[in-house]
A = this chain, B = another copy of it.
Amino acid sequence: MIPGDHPRYRSLVTRERLAECAKKGIVTGEGLTAHGRGEAFDYMLGERTTRSALIAERTAAALLLTARCPVISVNGNTAALAANEISSLQKACGARVEVNLFHRTEKRVNMIEKLLRDSGVDVFSGNAERLLPLSHDRAWCRREGMFAADVVLVPLEDGDRCAALVEMGKTVIAIDLNPLSRTARAATLTIVDELTRALPQITHSCREISEPEKKSLISSVNNHYLLSEAIREMTERLSHALD
């Protein structure tokens, strides 16, 4: 339906795919809007993985590989955009994959778990309980999943849940294109990169990272530096945009 000569063809097609998942109920209307916010920040990054994002991605791999109980939390947008990428990352780092939704219904959880399984993900499901110190449906998770985790990867997470997980003593890795979001600031480590670029990069790093590099990256996590660098890249690009 979108004309092939449209200069933003690729971006429009991705949007249409999300809109399609929204019709099925996998992605919420709010999820579509959140995707748009991400697009704007990615546009300012030049739609590429920056040097500092690459450091964050390698550090994420190191944290996931050395975790006692790593968990990847998946929501509707993540499943719609990157079910295959989640499957590859799970194979590379051995993390549990758990579905956690902001707008939670049993039906949505089941649809998203099915979509993930169809892409080869070993989904950790079972009974969810209200275990996180939050109002709303965001409190739900599984006792042996996110609740037990020491390291949690939360792509596209809500700011409150991210902060709650950090307060519970967990190492939280966020993937968030907005370096100013509450999620980005609250997380232990924030990857300011687009989801389908970030996940394969973490997977790749899991496969080739050495023991000394792992130790060195983990001992030098500096999220303020990573966020400052992302902002610096954006402002630099913005300020030359009209040249």
On A, residues with C-beta under 8 Å from B are: 1-3, 5-8, 12, 15-16, 18-20, 22-23, 28-30, 32-41, 43, 103, 135-136, 159-160, 178-180, 182, 224, 227-228, 231-232, 234-235, 238-239, 241-242
Q: How far is the CA of A36 from the CA of B40 in the complex (A)?
A: 8
**Distance to closest chain B CB from A39 (angstroms):** 5
Q: Which of B32, B224, B232 contacts A36 (CB 8 A)?
A: B32
Q: Which of B3, B39, B235, B238 contacts A33 (CB 8 A)?
A: B39
Residues of the B chain whose Cβ atoms lie less than 8 Å from the Cβ of A39: 33, 36-37, 40
Complex contact A242–B231 (CB within 8 A): yes
Q: How far is the CA of A28 from the CA of B29 in the complex (A)?
A: 10
Using CB atoms, name the residue of chain B closest to A33.
B36
Q: Known contacts being A19-B28, A235-B235, is A135 close to B5, with CB within 8 Å?
A: yes
In the complex this chain forms, how many copies of it are found? 2
Q: Which of B8, B15, B135 contacts A29 (CB 8 A)?
A: B15
Pairs across A and B, CB under 8 Å, 8 listed: A5-B135, A22-B22, A22-B32, A33-B39, A36-B37, A36-B39, A39-B40, A227-B242
Complex contact A180–B37 (CB within 8 A): no
Complex contact A33–B7 (CB within 8 A): no
Q: Known contacts being A29-B22, A136-B3, is A224 close to B238, with CB within 8 Å?
A: no
Residues of the B chain whose Cβ atoms lie less than 8 Å from the Cβ of A241: 179-180, 231
Residues of the B chain whose Cβ atoms lie less than 8 Å from the Cβ of A18: 29, 33
Complex contact A33–B35 (CB within 8 A): yes
Q: How far is the CA of A108 from the CA of B180 in the complex (A)?
A: 37
Q: How far is the CA of A180 from the CA of B46 in the complex (A)?
A: 12
Q: How far is the CA of A156 from the CA of B174 in the complex (A)?
A: 31
Residues of the B chain whose Cβ atoms lie less than 8 Å from the Cβ of A15: 29-30, 33
**Distance to closest chain B CB from A160 (angstroms):** 7
Q: Which of B32, B35, B235, B242 contacts A238 (CB 8 A)?
A: B235
Residues of the B chain whose Cβ atoms lie less than 8 Å from the Cβ of A136: 2-3
Q: Known contacts being A7-B182, A40-B40, is A30 close to B19, with CB within 8 Å?
A: yes
Q: How far is the CA of A143 from the CA of B205 in the complex (A)?
A: 59
**Distance to closest chain B CB from A28 (angstroms):** 7
